Amino acid sequence: MNQPLAEALTHLRMGNQTFLINFYQDHRDHFARWARRHHQLELASAHEALRAVLIDFYDQVIDGRLTKLPPDLRAYLYGMGREQIETVKTTAALPVVEASRRQHLLGVFGQMGNDCQQVLMYFYFRGYNFEKVAGKMGFANATVARLQKASCLRKLIELRGRAADGALPGAAAAPPAV
């Protein structure tokens, strides 16, 4: 890992996910061998489990559930991997209301079209301004990007409201992409 471990959490909180991307690149094969030896897990499933672990770890850092980097990060993440495979959860969870609200929005987000998802990710996570969003997405100018983002946000709010009212069966359902 290029970044010193001590800085990893700070970088993650600032939205720099390179630390986890590098971890995945460096440990993917090793984790797959470990998962096959200890849990008889197929290669693709092991990779998927490690991705889920890293996303969960990221959520823990962002939510403030993890404030200190574990002394042996690999052992910690492999432990989370074991829990992921055995579907056992021992790490701190978010309050139910908050967790369910976020999971609900995540499900709704997944129902949107790729362009909308991308625009919202660029704006709300990466913090790109409208000019940069326009450049990344190939829009004519910043105004188009602003209108596109506004439209996507309205669609998301609409879908969220409909799902909350029970008009949509939930996150698992797959209505046509917006």
Partner 1 sequence: MMSPAELRPYLDELERFADGQMTTSEQDVFEERMLREPALREAFEVFEQITADLRWVAGHETLRHRLLTLDHRLNQRQDALLRIKRRQRRTQTRWGAIVAVLALLAVGLWFFLLRPAARQSGSAWQNYYVADPGLPSENTLDEHRPLLAEAMTQYRLGHYPAAMHALRRVPTDNLGADTLQYYNGIFLLSEGDGQAARPYLRRVVQQSGSPLVRKARYHLAVAYWAARQWPEARAAFREVAADSLNPYRRDAQKVLQANVLRGSD
Both tokens assigned to 87: 């579907």
3 belongs to the binding site for partner 1 (CB under 8 A): no
Which of 46, 49, 120, 134: binder of partner 1 (CB under 8 A)?
A: 120
CA nearest to 57, candidates 40, 76, 71: 76
Report in angstroms how near the CB of residue 158 gets to partner 1 at its nearest.
5
Report in angstroms how near the CB of residue 40 gets to partner 1 at its nearest.
21
153 belongs to the binding site for partner 1 (CB under 8 A): yes
Determine the Cα–Cα distance for residues 92 and 21; give it in Å rounded to an integer: 23
Residues 53-92: x/- map of binding to partner 1 (CB under 8 A)?
-xx--xx--xx-----------------------------
Which of 3, 9, 11, 28: binder of partner 1 (CB under 8 A)?
A: 28
Which of 3, 17, 45, 91: binder of partner 1 (CB under 8 A)?
A: 17
Both tokens assigned to 151: 């439209």
The stretches of 14-171 forming alpha helices (DSSP H) are 18-39, 43-63, 73-86, 96-110, 114-120, 130-137, 142-164
Report in angstroms how near the CB of residue 177 gets to partner 1 at its nearest.
15
Determine the Cα–Cα distance for residues 79 and 177; give it in Å rounded to an integer: 37
